[in-house]
Amino acid sequence: MTESTTIRWEQDESGIVTLVLDDPNQSANTMNQAFKDSIAAIADRAEAEKDSIRGIVYTSAKKTFFAGGDLKDMMKVGPEQAQRAFDTGMAIKRSLRRIETLGKPVVAALNGAALGGGYEIALASHHRIALDAPGSKIGLPEVTLGLLPAGGGVTRTVRLMGIADALLKVLLQGTQYSPRRALENGLVHEVAATPEEMLAKARAFIDTHPESHQPWDVKGYKIPGGTPSNPRFAANLPAFPANLKKQLNGAPYPAPRNILACAVEGAQVDFETAQTIEARYFTELLTGQTAKNMIQAFFFDLQAVNSGANRPQGVAQRPVRKVAVLGAGMMGAGIAYSCARAGIEVVLKDVSADAAQRGKEYSEKLLAKALSRGRTTEAERDELLARITPTADPADLSGCDAVIEAVFEDTALKHKVFQEIQDIVEPDALLCSNTSTLPITVLAEGVSRPVDFIGLHFFSPVDKMPLVEIIKGERTGDEALARAFDLVRQINKTPIVVNDSRGFFTSRVIGQFINEGVAMVGEGADPASVEQAAAQAGYPAKVLSLMDELTLTLPRKIRDETRRAIEEAGGTWAGHPSDAVIDRMVDEFGRTGRSGGAGFYAYGEDGRRAGLWPGLREHFTRSDVTIPFEDMKERMLFSEALDSVRCLEENVLTSVADANIGSVMGIGFPAWTGGVLQYINGYEGGLPGFVARARELAEKYGERFQPPALLVEKAERGEVFTDA
Ligand code: NAI
């Protein structure tokens, strides 16, 4: 056996071998080189000592069962290392397969999360038992990192549950199941309440199945639901790529495509060939750029952001017990729900008791839905609702240790509501505003303790959106920042931290995307192509439809205020080519967006979109204008990426991880890019390639595409955007 083994062999007198996964050099077990060597040595020993073995149990000495691939290593694999990556993957697969086919019962005792590689070890076992530990998750989330499960995950799920279920339940969405839901969906065989019960169940399985093997290794086994070689199945098969195509909308996500191909091809060949096919499709993803982008954002950046790289150190944690939410409208109601769900007492205040009550009813609605889907219990629902007290009486806010204001977007009104309550809440209560546009520094002038005042910008719908943008005003103290950070974590959301500035980071940058889409309509581009370009670039919402949702009047108001402020300060207003289009839409055609019943789209009586407004073609589209499709996509992506670099230059942003996470999780910047700055890092030709292309766009479409100095300097120095 190798010296640095990551697996301990513990054999009892009855002949049961427990393989304890326990990498001595890491806090979690991963499929690294050491694991490759260890599992090979284990397979050797199991074969050599077969006669003394009655059964094998995989379990782990770590908090999680097994974490999956080693992502740090994976980030370094370029096309030159493809063969080596392929060989390593195949070697691990072969070892797992040797243990699986030894002829002895193999049980996975999942003591904690088994995601990716962890669940693949479980799949290579004949029996899977999960400990019902809180927060424990089971599944194959590789697709969310731009990869596919290549430790036999595709090959075995297809054989276990059939192509359709494997794709829909496990592979294409990367769903992470709780142990109970994993049981309901056939990912595990049993759930245990305690570690002792789990091991007893493992032992019982071995006692009753002395010669166990996988169902697919039994002669005559048929993959559930059939395979493409069956004519009935083959007839339905084209629907898969078609559905996937529709889902992806042409956006460049290679992983789902490879997963689909791998599942279908692998189902038609023998097990060993299927494993090789899986390794090939995986290596292609691993050596490509999209997986690197997604691993950077959804693993490293997310971890940095959530673990508090931005939180001032030395401020003690003090969980919020009772929060005042001011304003029970769309945002206030959602904030109240999210806080109550995290166990915080909520006093939800509006101008009238009725309005406050309506805000609480929003939680009732969400909970009724969750109950009908089995996502909550009646007891949990009742407890959550009991934590929300609707009121119109400021006196009820006594005892609150945090305030989140979400009244109308009006500085004077916000000042007034804080004045009304600041002497009623706890004397050191954290004071937050959910404003989406007003400067935090100005709002802080209305309270007696500006040092405790901070922006807490939620996104709509609050119960679903995972991000909160924390905005530091000029006078915000470190203590307030740390407490705001902790509050966001307390309600299980992801915080990014930015400095006060017009539109902060998120509203400002998404504005660039929308303006660019609208500008193209103004230049005479076909509006349907503009929408299609946004979809194909990977944006979750098409650009003109998003403009309609936000209304045309709101950005116009912000724009006019910004212009006034700049001119009053003696500056010149550069303007944007979209300005004239928005003005015409509102002033000449009276089209203000969805809430006004007419915008870039037409709307039916029921408020549903009824196609792009035909007037756009008549008044804006020019037959002599064609903007290359690639330019359309990149104008949107570049406009946001370039403005994010300016946010770094202006110190609105202070970290790369914040930029990447904020853009993908807050404002729909396409996930395949890994975020606004990772997009630049991963662009063809790196930073110099990006700079060259930005200059080309500037030449063709306007000076706003000129690369900022920070970007040019970094490109010249051969650097990338990183916090390291
Ligand atoms: P809304 O119009 O749905 O709700 C505002 C609520 O404040 C109403 O229920 C109103 O009765 C209440 N209110 C007014 N005066 C009050 C007072 N003196 N005391 C207590 N309550 C009072 O507005 P929405 O959309 O919830 O927005 C609220 C805030 O959140 C605004 O500052 C907005 O800019 C910001 N925001 C909005 C987002 C959105 O997507 N709608 C996203 C992020 C921030």
Question: Ligand 1 atom closest to Cα of 416?
Answer: 18
Half-sphere exposure of residue 21: CA atoms within 13 angstroms, side-chain side: 32
Give me the pLDDT at residue 2, please. 42
Q: How far is CA 149 from the centre of its chain?
A: 19
Rounded-to-integer distance, Cα 102 and Cα 52, Å: 13
pLDDT in tens, 17-31: 999 999 999 899 999
Pocket test for ligand 1, best of 354, 357, 360, 408 (most atoms within 8 A of CB): 408
Burial code of 39-78, b = ≥16 C-beta within 10 A, e = fewer? bbbbbeebeeeeeebbbbbbbbebebbbbbbbbeebeebe
- Whole-prediction pTM value? 0.93
Residue 329 CB less than 6 A away from ligand 1: yes
> Is 578 in contact with 519 (CB distance < 8 Å)?
yes
Residue 405 CB less than 6 A away from ligand 1: no
Residue 569 CB less than 6 A away from ligand 1: no
Q: Where are the alpha helices (DSSP H) in 101-230?
A: 117-123, 153-161, 163-165, 179-184, 195-208
Q: How many Å lie between the centroid of ligand 1 and the Cα of residue 663?
A: 23
Mean per-residue pLDDT over the chain, rounded: 94
Q: List, in sequence order, every residue forming a beta bridge with 609; answer none if it has no partner.
A: 603
Contacts of 427 (CB under 8 A, 6+ apart): none
Residue 391 CB less than 6 A away from ligand 1: no
**Strand pairing report for 467-472 and 453-458:** antiparallel
**How many other CB atoms are found less than 10 A from the CB of residue 253?**
20
pLDDT in tens, 52-110: 999 999 999 999 999 888 898 899 898 899 999 999 999 999 999 999 999 999 999 99
Phi first, then psi, for residue 685 (nearest 5°) are: 85, 5
Rounded mean pLDDT of 152-163? Answer: 97
Q: How many Å lie between the centroid of ligand 1 and the Cα of residue 289?
A: 41
Rounded mean pLDDT of 442-453? Answer: 97
Question: Which structure tokens are listed for 561?
Answer: 């205020």
Residue 478 CB less than 6 A away from ligand 1: no
Q: How many Å lie between the centroid of ligand 1 and the Cα of residue 342?
A: 22
Pocket test for ligand 1, best of 326, 337, 350 (most atoms within 8 A of CB): 350
pLDDT in tens, 458-517: 999 999 999 999 999 999 999 999 999 999 999 999 999 999 998 899 999 999 999 999
Q: Where are the alpha helices (DSSP H) in 612-724?
A: 615-619, 629-649, 656-667, 676-682, 686-701, 709-716
Q: DSSP string of 45-101?
A: HHHHTGGG-SEEEEEESSSSSB-EE-HHHHHT--GGGHHHHHHHHHHHHHHHHHHHT
pLDDT in tens, 204-216: 999 999 989 999 9
ipTM of the complex: 0.96
Q: How many Å lie between the centroid of ligand 1 and the Cα of residue 327?
A: 6
What 8-state DSSP symbol labels residue 457? Answer: E
Residue 407 CB less than 6 A away from ligand 1: yes
pLDDT in tens, 303-317: 999 999 889 999 999
Question: Which structure tokens are listed for 713?
Answer: 């300097």
Give me the pLDDT at residue 557, please. 87
Residue 332 CB less than 6 A away from ligand 1: yes
- Band the pLDDT of 245: cuts 50, 70, 90: confident
One-letter amino acid at 222 equals K
Residue 409 CB less than 6 A away from ligand 1: yes
Going by CA atoms, what residue is nearest to atom 20 of ligand 1?
350
Going by CA atoms, what residue is nearest to atom 9 of ligand 1?
329
Rounded-to-integer distance, Cα 145 and Cα 661, Å: 14
Angle of CA points 370, 374, 375, to nearest 5°:
50
Rounded-to-integer distance, Cα 488 and Cα 496, Å: 10
